[in-house]
Structure 1
Amino acid sequence: MGEAPVIVAARRTPIGTAAHAFKAVTADRLAAPVLGALARDVAFLGAPIEDVVLGNCMGPGGNLARVSALGAGLGEAVPGVTVDRQCGSGLAAILMAGQAIRGEEMELVIAGGAESASTAPLRAHRGPAGEPAVPYERAPFTPEGHPDPDMGAAAEALAGACGVDRDRQDRYACESHAKAVAAREAGRFEEEIVPIEGRAQDQRPRLLRQASLSRLPAAFVHGGSVTAGNSSPISDGAAAVVLVSERLRAAAGVPGLRLRAGVVVGCDPALPGWGPVPAVRRLLGRTGVSMERIAAVEIVEAFAAQTLAVTDALGLDPLGADRDRVCADGGALALGHPWGATGAVVVTRLFTRLVRSGASPGTLGLATAAVGGGLGVAALFEVV
């Protein structure tokens, strides 16, 4: 097997709330500008792009990765493959690309994800002959006879099982927005963002007051603690990274993020938000790395309840000692949660936090996401 793959470039679109900023922009038109920017970023390497791997959940099909690659002008010789691990799709795509490089089948691959909830097609089951089709909002995550809760109800169940109360959820949501606003004002998003239709800033982040959040009603379960204010919004966006062989990176003399290892696991589908816990534990056990050694953690903030349940279990305190370690510039609660892309958004954020900021070689970063149906995905990166 070859050496571990290295990320040498990372980009994303601004993230828009569904039916707002990018309401008419299809998933391939979100992804193509990101792919094009990355191709320009690494043109100096003088190596061909050998594949594009993109995650997507709700798009129209037709191999989004290939459509986006052609739309980006990468050329007819660049193929493409689209993967679906739901909210973990963008990170799963990066792991798949890394496997191709580690196996010495390829030397330069672009991987990430894209989602346009605004333009996602309506879905329907065919009815019997002569009867109308029956629309449905999402495909099942499990077969009949297994738990298959909606994500909001699942977050509520996880909050109850793990003792995450309403006050902490609202505090965490306020913190996520405050950190994202501070990062935006300090220009920490600028180098990673590729403008879309003239927009170069995320739509959602804003300063919130916990007193205002506390007045919001439960959104999914009567009398519950999960609200619209402490949940991520449905969003549109794309993100991707360039992975190369260590040989190619070293020859160019550029810094990067080495993909040390990645893990995907299953868990109880009744509590899908728990997935990052067994994923991270297996990842750390496999690599022999302790949580104390990891300088930067990016978790997909689908819900404040879910994020806090996971960080509690992993021994992290994002409202205290680990505030600047976990989602230091805000996460999906503030930025938005474009399902198929969000796993690549967190890796792009790690690249900015560690490589663009000039972190020293050997610094470790962790990216993780929960997945509908009861999965967890996690990856460990190291600055080189």
Structure 2
Amino acid sequence: MTGARGVPADAPVVVAARRTWVGTAGHGHRALTEVDLAAGALRATLVDTCSLGVADDPADVVLGCCTGPGGNVARVAALAAGAGVAVPGLTVDRQCASGLAAVLVAAQQVRAGEARLVLAGGTESASRAPARAHRTPGGDVPFERAAFAPVPWADPAMGAAADELARRRGVTRARQEAYALRSHARALAAHRAGRLDAETVRLGAPRRALARDERARRLDPAVLARLAPAFSPDGTVTAATASPVSDGAAAVAVVPERVRRDLGAPGLRVLASATVGCDPALPGWGPVPAVRAVLARAGVALDDVAAVEVVEAFAAQVLAVTDALGLDPLGDAADDARVCADGGALALGHPWGASGALVIVRLFSRLVRAGAPAGTLGLATAAVGGGLGVAALVEVVR
């Protein structure tokens, strides 16, 4: 059985997508936990699905989260958002791609015929994440971070890995700074034009609630040029070309095509996805094989894709990936218009467990809310510590 334009009736389609404004850790959302943030995004998404005519409780809530307190954040957030007591929850940790992985899990549940509605996304509160320590006979030792790869594999911190990727792929500091300037300028323009308003929800006390993504600002090229390397003595990545530690959440509603068709609502069909591994020494490279795999799986070329959203963990990483894929957001006019057109994590913020879902929300706004015709393609991708890449190809359906 197929739906409109030959779309399979059980094809997973995103019909609603919302996110919080993103706060810099320790600032705008410092009083909110990962559950508070997730519940706000989930609640707004549930309201949107109800307004479309979906009366069902979600069959599941799937959320990415990297640094939360455990206790199944997705289940707690589902209850906090007002979902029925019968709604379960699944918390996913694929590090910076956790939110995207959660959306893909929801899509698989729908495609398998197990659900008429699944809410998925991600959440992170770096401000409120628990402090951890290793217990040793000599006392507690502060826990800095989990291992991304075991001995004898390389296990670099993400900043040092971005420096190494820039060195190996020839991404200069000047290009990184130019890309950071572009990201912030695009985000500021999107805020001024109100292009982000429909996808966001304000949380917290009225006088303290963020009304925009907190990090976006006007950057001075002269100041950027004077910044010291942030992660390696001879590196090229600085504080301005690395994404900030952030708090935020994003959520989407996924239904089968037959439900979407009955509702008469536009959406984003999850056309194909790919999750791959790469060298743990160069985790930022992961989107390259992931994007190549997802395009091959769908039988389309990158030139056929109208909108591309890359999780901008580091400017060096984005440029290494876009160079390898044949994209040029700093030079080619068409690529400049389709790669992170309203800025990305460098300017909007990078709440780790949520960022992968946030780029799906961005694609929903850029394509569905903006009125792109049926059949228009979008691509979301993220790199992951330990050497992974995740990519999803989506298609507008109307």
Residue 272 of structure 1, CA deviation:
0.1
**Structure 1, unaligned runs of 5 or more:** none
From 146, 155, 158, the counterpart of 2:162? 155
Secondary structure of the structure 1 residue equivalent to 2:254:
strand
CA contact (8 A) 2:310 2:340 kept: yes
CA contact (8 A) 2:15 2:267 kept: yes
From 315, 340, 346, the counterpart of 2:359? 346
CA contact (8 A) 2:33 2:125 kept: yes
Distance (whole Å) between structure 2 residues aligned to residue 122 and residue 48 of structure 1: 35
Secondary structure of the structure 2 residue equivalent to 1:307:
helix
From 45, 48, 52, the counterpart of 2:54? 45
Distance (whole Å) between structure 2 residues aligned to residue 277 and residue 298 of structure 1: 13
Aligned to 2:272: 261
CA contact (8 A) 2:57 2:84 kept: no
Aligned to 2:202: 195
Aligned to 1:167: 174
CA contact (8 A) 2:377 2:396 kept: yes
2:31 is equivalent to residue 18 of structure 1: no
Residue 107 of structure 1, CA deviation:
1.2
2:378 is equivalent to residue 369 of structure 1: no
Aligned to 1:235: 246
2:308 is equivalent to residue 308 of structure 1: no
Residue 288 of structure 1, CA deviation:
0.6
2:72 is equivalent to residue 63 of structure 1: yes
| Letter in structure 2 aligned against 1:10 | A
Residue 224 of structure 1, CA deviation:
1.6
Residue 2 of structure 1, CA deviation:
6.2
| Letter in structure 1 aligned against 2:89 | G
CA contact (8 A) 1:2 1:101 kept: no
2:259 is equivalent to residue 248 of structure 1: yes
2:328 is equivalent to residue 317 of structure 1: yes
2:11 is equivalent to residue 4 of structure 1: yes
**Percent identity for Structure 1 against Structure 2:** 63
Aligned to 2:116: 107
Aligned to 1:333: 346
Secondary structure of the structure 1 residue equivalent to 2:240:
coil
Secondary structure of the structure 2 residue equivalent to 1:191:
helix
Secondary structure of the structure 1 residue equivalent to 2:323:
helix
Matches within 5 A, 1:74-113: 74-113=83-122
2:308 is equivalent to residue 297 of structure 1: yes
Aligned to 1:122: 131
Distance (whole Å) between structure 2 residues aligned to residue 342 and residue 315 of structure 1: 24
Aligned to 1:208: 219
CA contact (8 A) 1:2 1:104 kept: no
CA contact (8 A) 2:9 2:258 kept: no
Deviations 1:254-291 (A, max 9, x none): 10000001110000000000000000001111111100
Distance (whole Å) between structure 2 residues aligned to residue 288 and residue 178 of structure 1: 34
CA contact (8 A) 1:193 1:200 kept: no
CA contact (8 A) 2:23 2:210 kept: no
Aligned to 2:147: 140
Distance (whole Å) between structure 2 residues aligned to residue 224 and residue 37 of structure 1: 42
| Letter in structure 2 aligned against 1:373 | G
Deviations 1:6-35 (A, max 9, x none): 000000000000011111211000010111
Distance (whole Å) between structure 1 residues aligned to residue 388 and residue 75 of structure 2: 27
Distance (whole Å) between structure 1 residues aligned to residue 165 and residue 193 of structure 2: 35
Distance (whole Å) between structure 1 residues aligned to residue 321 and residue 395 of structure 2: 22
CA contact (8 A) 1:27 1:59 kept: yes
Residue 48 of structure 1, CA deviation:
2.4
Aligned to 1:278: 289
Secondary structure of the structure 2 residue equivalent to 1:133:
strand
| Letter in structure 2 aligned against 1:204 | R
Distance (whole Å) between structure 2 residues aligned to residue 333 and residue 18 of structure 1: 14
Distance (whole Å) between structure 2 residues aligned to residue 161 and residue 232 of structure 1: 21
CA contact (8 A) 2:271 2:394 kept: yes
Distance (whole Å) between structure 2 residues aligned to residue 22 and residue 357 of structure 1: 29
Question: Number of matched residues?
Answer: 382
The worse-fitting range, judged by mean Cα deviation, of 151-160 and 40-49 is 40-49
Give the superposed CA RMSD: 0.9
CA contact (8 A) 1:2 1:102 kept: no
| Letter in structure 1 aligned against 2:350 | H
Deviations 1:212-260 (A, max 9, x none): 2111110011122100011100000000100001010000001000000
Secondary structure of the structure 2 residue equivalent to 1:59:
coil
Distance (whole Å) between structure 2 residues aligned to residue 221 and residue 75 of structure 1: 49
CA contact (8 A) 2:376 2:395 kept: yes
Residue 71 of structure 1, CA deviation:
0.6
Secondary structure of the structure 2 residue equivalent to 1:45:
coil
Distance (whole Å) between structure 2 residues aligned to residue 296 and residue 38 of structure 1: 23
Deviations 1:20-71 (A, max 9, x none): 1111211000010111111111112222211100000000000000000111
